[in-house]
């Protein structure tokens, strides 16, 4: 686990935990403004922008798994190899805050969303809510745990991860009896703008 994770807020007696996971080639600092915005509207939230564990193969920032030469076939095993450390990281912050999965929200951008979403496909989901910004599942949705609420926020002009991945995932979760919403934002590329941030903050309520 990287020591560069940033605690944006740790109020006494925090009743919820919000963990933010950045994209490949970025760092915890990139999502700190969103973490601080969350802390401002959720004063009882223990909010942490988590730094990914490995130096990125892109030559800058951090990553959970390498995207160099990644394909649809190679992505799932790379994620599977990274998932134990991801789960351990979430569990670490839950212990730090004394807060369980039912009061934990994972907010991910891009690769951070992929890890957050895929973590819900195990027998024991890590969180009660996942907010996926410009993300996707690595594989078709296999399960939709009743205890997890999914919120997909995606720009229609995203050239890195196409918005249809979010729309299709939300539809699949609904077919499986789960809870999912999807917001497709016209004109937004692979990023988080004021509209996306406002939606993310709203889903924390």
Count: domains in the chain: 1
pLDDT at residue 2 above 70? no
- Strand order of the β-sheet with 104-109 is 6-9, 45-50, 16-21, 104-109, 129-133, 149-155, 179-185
Q: What integer pLDDT is reported at residue 123 of this predicted model?
A: 81
Q: What integer pLDDT is reported at residue 59 of this predicted model?
A: 87
d(CA 51, CA 183) in angstroms, rounded, equals 26
- In a domain, residue 45? The reply is yes
Q: What integer pLDDT is reported at residue 54 of this predicted model?
A: 96
Q: For the chain, what is the mean pLDDT?
A: 96
* Cβ contact 14:29 at 8 Å: no
- In a domain, residue 1? The reply is no
| Span 4-19, average pLDDT | 97
pLDDT digits over 84-131, tens only? 999 999 999 999 999 999 999 999 999 999 999 999 998 889 999 999
Q: What integer pLDDT is reported at residue 205 of this predicted model?
A: 76
Task: Indicate which residue of 110, 113, 116, 166 is catalytic.
Answer: 110
- In a domain, residue 172? The reply is yes
Q: What is the CATH number of the domain that holds 191?
A: 3.40.50.1820
* Cβ contact 163:132 at 8 Å: no
> Catalytic site residue 190?
yes
Place of tokens 């919120």: 151
Q: How many CB atoms lie within 10 A of CB 11?
A: 14
Which helix (H) or strand (E) element contains residue 169? helix 164-175
* Bridge partners for 17 per DSSP: 46, 104
- In a domain, residue 11? The reply is yes
| Span 48-53, average pLDDT | 98
Task: Indicate which residue of 30, 51, 158, 183 is catalytic.
Answer: 158
Domain residue limits at 186: 6-203
């Amino acid at each position: 686990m990287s020591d560069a994770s940033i605690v944006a807020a740790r109020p006494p007696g925090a009743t919820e935990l919000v963990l933010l996971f950045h994209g490949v080639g970025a760092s915890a600092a990139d999502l700190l403004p969103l973490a601080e915005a969350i802390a401002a509207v959720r004063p009882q939230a223990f909010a942490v922008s988590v730094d990914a564990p490995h130096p990125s193969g892109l030559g800058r920032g951090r990553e959970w798994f390498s995207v160099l030469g990644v394909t649809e076939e190679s992505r799932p095993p790379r994620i599977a190899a990274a998932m134990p450390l991801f789960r351990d990281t979430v569990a670490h912050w839950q212990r730090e805050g004394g807060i369980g999965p039912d009061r934990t929200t994972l907010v991910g951008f891009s690769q951070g969303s992929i890890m957050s979403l895929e973590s819900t496909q195990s027998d024991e989901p890590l969180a009660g809510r996942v907010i996926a910004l410009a993300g996707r599942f690595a594989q078709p949705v296999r399960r939709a745990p009743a205890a997890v609420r999914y919120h997909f926020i995606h720009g229609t002009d995203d050239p890195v991860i196409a918005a249809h991945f979010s729309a299709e995932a939300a539809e699949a979760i609904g077919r499986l009896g789960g809870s999912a919403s999807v917001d497709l934002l016209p004109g937004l590329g692979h990023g988080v703008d004021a509209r996306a941030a406002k939606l993310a903050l709203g889903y924390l309520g």
